[in-house]
């Protein structure tokens, strides 16, 4: 609720106060409908309760006796709630039902200084749209370079013979920049119009170089996000499936076997429920390090989703060699994980499938490994019972 007050004055004296309380939910519910379709708008109070969310069921949860907190939906936003940061940018990988998105959140103080009141405001946009904007920026820079090249050629043809050589040097430099090559030194020390043109071109070249550097960095970052898990840094499902297809093709040509391991954590939901999602994320990161440290450098470790991990082992000559890798992993999980300096025991069920013994294609191989893992997990549950 919003409160607005105004004094009632009569005869120079305050006779009373009129207070108007306005319901906040109807006032805020149209924020997302006012934004373009690809964007999502988020707003929370200083405790993290959603006031505005693209999913209306997530907003004003406390009115229904629920606490739907922004820091639980987006763990890095906790740094805004406790004041350690003023802004946070993050991304989440896509799922079967929703595309990958990029999120930006800022902490916005209001009220009197020292009261400590603030809101968290956020926007989201599909990752594909961000990548499209990067491509558009690259095309614009390329067009600028082509236009400048044409301008340089025209100027060289119109000016007198006295300035032909320096202008020719500038034109050659323009063409070299377009092709990404080095060029001769420009006459930037001249005090005439040619020197001014050379200095302007040098400034433009430096600016383009900075923009191209930023563009390449953004492109590399987007490519990494598209093929890696944002939480653990491991290859995601898309990259794993590409790698699996390559390894199977190499195995067919060489005649050598390969092994696929499915690793699923036991009772991970209980960790999330009792210790919170922040600790759950730390556990997943520690598990990624444990698996990577236990297998060979040539093996591919990936996180498919949730607490499901895979290990792809190529050039495995026998079932015994594959079982040795499984045993090494089992021994690694016998040691407790180090979670913020505290030991936490975590167990995992590991399923094994061999190519071409158990399957002839990628899908069947994954199904076989998953089924093997499930049998082990069921057997452990029966042993506990």
Q: Which of 50-54, 65-69, 256-260 is the most confident on average?
A: 256-260
User: Residue 3 above 70 pLDDT?
Assistant: no
- C-alpha 95/C-alpha 81 separation (Å) is 27
CATH H-level, domain 18-127: superfamily: PAS domain (3.30.450.20)
Bridge partners of 16? Answer: 8
Task: pLDDT band for 141, please (50, 70, 90 cuts).
Answer: confident
pLDDT in tens, 208-243: 777 777 777 767 667 767 789 999 999 999 999 999
Instruction: Using pLDDT thresholds of 50, 70 and 90, give the confidence band for residue 6.
Output: confident
Q: Residue 228: helix, strand or coil by DSSP? A: strand
Measured CA to CA in angstroms, residue 348 lies from 12, 186, 325, 351, 376 at distances of 78, 65, 14, 10, 10
| Residues in the chain, total | 385
Residue 326 contacts residue 313 (beta carbons within 8 Å): no
| Entry pTM | 0.47
Domains of the chain, by residue range, sit at 18-127, 130-225, 237-384
If DSSP codes are grouped into helix, strand and coil, which group holds residue 336? coil
Q: Which has more confidence, 103 or 21?
A: 103
pLDDT of residue 354: 94
Which overall architecture, per CATH, does domain 237-384 show?
A: 2-Layer Sandwich (3.30)
Helix-then-strand count for the chain, H and E: 12, 13
Q: Is 296 helix (H, G, I), strand (E, B) or coil?
A: coil
What Rg value do the Cα atoms of the chain yield, rounded?
30
Average pLDDT taken over every residue of the chain: 83
């Amino acid at each position: 609720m919003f409160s607005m007050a105004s004094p009632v004055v009569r005869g120079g004296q305050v006779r009373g106060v009129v207070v108007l309380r306005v319901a906040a939910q109807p006032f805020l519910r149209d924020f997302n409908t006012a934004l373009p379709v690809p964007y999502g708008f988020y707003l929370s109070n200083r405790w993290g309760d959603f006031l505005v969310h693209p999913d209306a069921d997530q907003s004003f949860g406390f009115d229904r006796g629920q606490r739907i907190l922004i820091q639980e939906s987006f763990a890095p936003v906790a740094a805004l709630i406790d004041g350690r940061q003023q802004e946070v940018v993050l991304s989440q990988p896509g799922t079967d039902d929703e595309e990958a998105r990029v999120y930006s959140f800022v902490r916005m103080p209001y009220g009197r200084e020292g009261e400590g009141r603030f809101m968290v405001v956020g926007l989201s946009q599909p990752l594909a749209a961000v990548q499209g904007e990067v491509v558009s920026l690259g095309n614009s820079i390329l067009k600028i370079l082509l236009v400048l090249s044409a301008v340089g050629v025209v100027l060289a043809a119109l000016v007198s013979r006295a300035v032909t050589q320096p202008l020719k040097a500038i034109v050659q430099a323009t063409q070299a920049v377009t092709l990404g090559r080095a060029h001769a030194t420009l006459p930037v020390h001249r005090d005439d119009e040619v020197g001014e043109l050379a200095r302007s071109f040098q400034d433009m070249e430096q600016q383009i170089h900075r923009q191209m550097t930023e563009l390449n960095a953004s492109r590399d970052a987007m490519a990494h996000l598209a093929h890696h898990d944002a939480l653990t840094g491991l290859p995601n499902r898309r990259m794993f499936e590409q790698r699996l297809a390559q390894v199977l093709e190499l195995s067919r040509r060489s005649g050598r076997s390969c092994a696929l391991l499915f690793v699923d954590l036991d009772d991970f939901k209980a960790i999330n429920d009792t210790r919170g999602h922040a600790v759950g994320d730390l556990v997943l990161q520690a598990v990624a390090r444990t698996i990577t440290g236990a297998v060979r450098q040539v093996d591919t470790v990936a996180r498919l989703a949730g607490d499901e991990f895979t290990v792809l082992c190529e050039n495995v000559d026998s079932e015994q060699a594959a079982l040795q890798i499984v045993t090494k992993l089992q021994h690694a999980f016998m040691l407790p994980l180090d979670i913020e300096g505290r030991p936490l025991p975590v167990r995992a069920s590991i399923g094994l499938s061999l190519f071409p013994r158990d399957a002839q294609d990628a899908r069947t191989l994954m199904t076989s490994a998953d089924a093997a893992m499930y049998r082990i997990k069921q057997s452990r549950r029966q042993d506990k019972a």
